[in-house]
Amino acid sequence: MIKQTLTFSRTDSAKFFRTLNTRVNGYFKENNIKKTGNWKLYIKAIIMFSLLLGPLVLLLTVDLPTWLQIICMMVIGIGMAGVGMNVMHDANHGSFSSKKWVNRLMGSSIHILAGNDYNWKVQHNVLHHTYTNIQGHDEDIDAGRIIRFSKHSKWLRIHQYQKYYAFLLYGLLTVNWAITTDFKQTYTYLKRKLSYGDFPNPTAQWTKLIIGKILYYSIWVVLPIVLGYAWWQVLIGFLIMHYTAGIILSVVFQLAHVMPNTEMPMPDENGTMKNTWAIHQLFTTSNFSPKSWIIEFYTGGLNRQVEHHLFSNISHVHYKNIAKIVRETAHEFSLPYNEYNSIWIAISEHYQQLKELGRKPSIA
């Protein structure tokens, strides 16, 4: 996918991030607290795993009416997204706990969410967090031919209708993880020798991927069939679960990056970006619903993507407290701090962005 070597500018503004980093580090030092998760995060982890696994136990042990089975699968989808955003996400950034083994354990929860930790770390930690919103580098803005997320992507006639169908397709995100995406990514990333940390042994990665998929399908497909559900019931439940999780995860991501107030910058002819990495994050990322405790609680602080992109090594339970520092420092350096006051305004603006990107580009 990456077509050229890309570097970020080193001028100016390293001063901005140096100042911000000093102030954020000062906050933790003055308050004598760790940057990793605390008891609040551990309680959230219990709640999210309960939402994920509690309804499954109920479905497998109690004869429920159809309408309640459907609700249970939707709750599982909510729990799947919740575990992903609150537990797996922090853990695979190394911020869930100060203990590496705890991060590895919690990060491995991705295997029961349809994913793979190696693939996720490369796509998310390396490609997305380094090359945010850069076409040809950030896979998170590459939706293939069906949705156009960037003005630098090729326009097709079907894109004029994406404002109508994009939200419907968002629900397929985790279904793709479960079926094809992980295999394609492992092949591609190993071939390109990409990794987050030590490069894995290819045989070990393929073995881990296959075992993970066997575990995943055993829990969500085989076990229900063995315990008496018809294959078609399991299929319907599987799709309800994944569609619910996919809608949630996709919307949360899109509200952070594919918005009218975020940019999609490209490097110059020498492969150099206009801004430093930290300032690039400010121009390409946006927050939403900063005052909603329920959204902040459930999304694992991903409604504060500005803070997350600048400090992914810090657990999301601290984002609310460092947000003021980030905002004030950005304004001090005359830099943007993108934010929408409510999720509904953000969704409306995302729809407008889909509409704008769906228009046929004018020929200069």
| Share of residues in the chain with pLDDT > 90 (%) | 91
- The 10 Å Cβ neighbour count of residue 144 is 7
Say what the alpha-carbon torsion angle 237, 242, 243, 246 is, to the nearest 10 degrees.
Answer: 170
pLDDT of residue 3: 47
In tens, the pLDDT along 11-26 reads: 665 599 999 999 999 9
| pLDDT (tens digit per residue) in 322-362 | 999 999 999 999 999 999 999 999 999 999 999 999 999 88
Contact between 60 and 76 (Cβ < 8 Å): no
Rounded CA separation 50/57 (Å): 10
pLDDT band at 1; cut points 50, 70, 90: very low
Domain segments of the chain as ranges:
33-358
Residues 6+ apart with CB under 8 A from 110: 84, 88, 92, 116, 117, 120
Angle at the Cα of 213 from the Cα atoms of 229 and 59, rounded to 5 degrees? 25
Model confidence over 193-243: pLDDT tens digits?
Answer: 999 989 999 999 999 999 999 999 999 999 999 999 999 999 999 999 999
Dist. CA 168–CA 138, nearest whole Å: 22
pLDDT, tens only, 31-75: 999 999 999 999 999 999 999 999 999 999 999 999 999 999 999
* Orientation angle between helical segments 231-257 and 343-358, nearest 10 degrees: 90
Query: d(Cα 242, Cα 113) in Å, to the nearest integer?
Result: 9
Which tens digits make up the pLDDT trace of 67-90? 999 999 999 999 999 999 999 999
